Amino acid sequence: MEPTTIVLFGATGDLAKRKIYPALYNLYLEKKLPETFSLIGMGRREWSDEFFQAQVEKSLHEFSRRQGDHQSVKSFVKAFRYSVLNITHKEDYIKLLQLVEQREAELGIPSNRLFYLSVGPEFFEPIAENIQASGLGSTQGWKRLVIEKPFGHDLQSARDLNRKLSESFTEEEIYRIDHYLGKPMVQKLETLHQSNPIMKALWNNRYISNVQITANETVGVEERASYYDHVGAVRDMFQNHMLQLLMMMAIQLPYNSTSENVGQKKKHIMESIQPLQKQTVGASIIRGQYAAGSIQGKPVHAYADEPGVAENTMNDTFIAAKLQIDDFFWRGVPFYIRTGKRMKEKSTRIVIEFKEPSGQGHLIKNNGSKPNLLVIEMSPDQSMTLQLNASDPENKGEFKPVHIDLAPNQGDLAEAYENLIRDALHGDPTFFAHWDEVELSWAWVQPILDAFNENLLPLHLYPAGSYGPAESDAMLEAEGHHWWFDEPSELISEQDSDVPMAVNGNS
Ligand code: BG6
């Protein structure tokens, strides 16, 4: 890997502390960082290099999945320098450029610069502009911009932001982070259907009955009410993470696909999703907000009573959707998506339900057999399980489900940020959100935003600690389906995994 300078905006912030420094450190321990790298962190506070290094060290002790020894921590933080920066002060960028150049000269490295924006979205444009104006972006080597979400607030603001950024960086230089794309099981999913002919053969409407994508959280709005109350589940989770999971699940990739293929195929999926009309959004979208309830035995407030939430708020803390991808492979297969705060449990998973043999549905119902399922658990568990039917040795003529573990011994997997930062340093954009996808997902979501804004569909309350409003269950029941695993009896426990089998993995 080429020597690199990471220029980190927002170095004193929470994300840097919890995710970025631990990710860099774990990459360092695994020798996956460039042999010579330097990091220059910026923030508003007046910190010395030593104080900054001590803060980074502290964050590793608190948040890193591995501690390493004292020596490795010390030699890791030695690469860190600090510069005070007021985002709107042009002269601060000139000072920063001098520091970057001085470090490059000291280390004898070319000017490969990775600018990482871990700051509020209101700062994206001025920073990009000042990088360009100050000369920081005029490198002899490569330059890249890594940018956190949210990328816009709606279709128009996302387009405006993109236009502004493209004055300083080309599309190939922009790495938009969606941390769901860094999750190890999402990356394995891509390998699963790309490199296994059996899976490839089944990956279509001939064999798949429906697909369910769930991201339930037990946490509420926490200290983020001022942000969340203007954003809701639709912008916070659905437009980005959930649609990215849908794309990653539905793409049909040729063997040995390049990053470009992945981008094109994802774009195709977004273009093929049947568009919504603002007036009829309610037919396929359920909007919910948590009422008071209890989670793991503890009473919790209603969203409307959380500190910082507007009086009479109509904000969505839950959204469920039914989508149809209108192409050769997926026509007729419903994709159900749901995400919510203050749900019964934390679980991020994709369930692929296969069709029953045609005409035999009535037989199957009475003999203990279940539909074949492929279950991809992303959080908190990380697993991939195939549910099949086998004959029940104790009851002749009856079946019982068996579970094949397709991703055993997950052990200590890399965190999403490790995968993403490594890829950005390598210049591999596969698991980042490309502009086409981002624009198309905002365009698809826009009628939902408008309908929510104009209250064209009901806001259903659901008790905290439940699986969301009853209307979300009813949406599936109307089509003869149900959300898998809301019933504890359906859950696949570890002991249930009968046959371990390794699958090609890349993480
Ligand atoms: C973030 C959202 O992008 O993702 C948060 O802003 C949410 O509201 C989080 O809690 C969920 O991420 P994960 O990895 O815990 O599922």
Domain boundaries, the chain: 4-148, 181-415+432-487
Residue 507 clears pLDDT 50, i.e. is over it:
no
Average pLDDT rounded to a whole number, residues 182-209: 91
Residue 498 clears pLDDT 70, i.e. is over it:
no
Sign of the torsion formed by the C-alpha atoms of 486, 487, 493 and 498? negative
**How close is the Cα of 216 to the center of ligand 1, in Å?**
10
**How close is the Cα of 197 to the center of ligand 1, in Å?**
33
> By percentage, how much of the chain surpasses pLDDT 70?
94
Q: Is 374 exposed, middle or buried (0-12, 13-18, 19+ CB in 10 A)?
A: buried
Tokens encoding 370 = 């279940």
Contact 397/492 with Cβ under 8 angstroms?
no
> Residue 365 has what pLDDT?
61
Is 344 known to sit in a ligand binding site? no
- Would you place residue 490 in the very low, low, confident or very high pLDDT band (cuts 50, 70, 90)? confident
Is 15 known to sit in a ligand binding site? yes
Q: How far is residue 311's CA from residue 89's CA, in Å, rounded to a whole number?
A: 37
**How does pLDDT run across 391-408, given as a tens digit for each residue?**
888 888 788 888 999 887
**How close is the Cα of 180 to the center of ligand 1, in Å?**
9
Is 436 known to sit in a ligand binding site? no
Average pLDDT rounded to a whole number, residues 110-124: 96
CB atoms within 10 A of CB 252: 17
- Kindly give the number of the ligand 1 atom that is closest to the alpha carbon of 215: 16
- Best residue among 14, 241, 317, 418 to mutate for probing ligand 1, ranked by most atoms within 8 Å of CB: 241
Most confident of 64-68, 208-212, 378-382: 208-212
- Would you place residue 359 in the very low, low, confident or very high pLDDT band (cuts 50, 70, 90)? low
Ligand 1-lining residues (CB < 6 angstroms): 215, 217, 236, 348, 379
> What is the distance between the terminal CA atoms of the chain, rounded to a whole angstrom?
18
- Would you place residue 357 in the very low, low, confident or very high pLDDT band (cuts 50, 70, 90)? confident
- Pairing of β 37-43 and β 4-9: parallel
Of 133-147, 363-377, 441-455, 457-471, the poorest mean pLDDT is in: 363-377
**How close is the Cα of 500 to the center of ligand 1, in Å?**
31
More confident residue, 248 or 1: 248
Of 370, 378, 433, nearest in space to 399 by CA: 370
Average pLDDT, the chain: 92
Distance of CA 196 to the CA centre of its chain: 24
**How close is the Cα of 378 to the center of ligand 1, in Å?**
13
Atom 2 of ligand 1: nearest residue by CA position: 236
> By percentage, how much of the chain surpasses pLDDT 90?
82
Is 44 known to sit in a ligand binding site? yes
Residues taking part in catalysis: 241
Domain 4-148 sits in which CATH superfamily? NAD(P)-binding Rossmann-like Domain (3.40.50.720)
CB atoms within 10 A of CB 56: 25
**How close is the Cα of 190 to the center of ligand 1, in Å?**
21
Residue 284 phi/psi, 5-degree rounding, is -135, 10
| Angle, in degrees to the nearest 10, between helices 259-272 and 243-250 | 110
Alpha helices in 30-181 (DSSP H): 49-63, 70-77, 90-107, 124-134, 155-165
Q: pTM (2 decimals)?
A: 0.94
- Kindly give the number of the ligand 1 atom that is closest to the alpha carbon of 379: 16
Atom 14 of ligand 1: nearest residue by CA position: 180
Average pLDDT rounded to a whole number, residues 228-239: 97
316: helix, strand or coil: coil
> Residue 494 has what pLDDT?
56
Helices (H) and strands (E) in the chain, counts: 17, 18
- Kindly give the number of the ligand 1 atom that is closest to the alpha carbon of 378: 16
DSSP code of residue 485:
T
CB atoms within 10 A of CB 12: 17
**How does pLDDT run across 284-343, given as a tens digit for each residue?**
999 999 999 999 999 999 999 999 999 999 999 999 999 999 999 999 999 999 999 999
Distance of CA 407 to the CA centre of its chain: 20
CATH 3.30.360.10 for domain 181-415+432-487, yes or no, is yes
**How close is the Cα of 386 to the center of ligand 1, in Å?**
27
Q: Which long-range contacts (CB under 8 A, 24 or more apart) does 249-253 make?
A: 249/189, 249/211, 249/213, 249/335, 249/350, 249/352, 250/211, 250/325, 250/329, 250/330, 250/335, 251/190, 252/193, 252/200, 252/203, 252/204, 252/329, 253/190, 253/193, 253/194
- Best residue among 147, 214, 217 to mutate for probing ligand 1, ranked by most atoms within 8 Å of CB: 217
- Kindly give the number of the ligand 1 atom that is closest to the alpha carbon of 183: 14
> Residue 410 has what pLDDT?
67
- Best residue among 19, 179, 234, 413 to mutate for probing ligand 1, ranked by most atoms within 8 Å of CB: 179
Residue the block writes with tokens 């697993």 = 383
CB atoms within 10 A of CB 215: 23
Atom 6 of ligand 1: nearest residue by CA position: 236
> Residue 390 has what pLDDT?
86
> Residue 401 has what pLDDT?
84
Atom 5 of ligand 1: nearest residue by CA position: 236
- Kindly give the number of the ligand 1 atom that is closest to the alpha carbon of 179: 14
Atom 4 of ligand 1: nearest residue by CA position: 237
> Residue 313 has what pLDDT?
96
- Kindly give the number of the ligand 1 atom that is closest to the alpha carbon of 224: 8
> Residue 501 has what pLDDT?
43
Residue 505 clears pLDDT 70, i.e. is over it:
no
> Residue 489 has what pLDDT?
77
Residue 506 clears pLDDT 60, i.e. is over it:
no
Is 480 known to sit in a ligand binding site? no
H or E, element range at 211: strand 208-216
Of 295-304, 347-356, 383-392, the poorest mean pLDDT is in: 383-392
**How does pLDDT run across 5-45, given as a tens digit for each residue?**
999 999 999 999 999 999 999 999 999 999 899 999 999 99
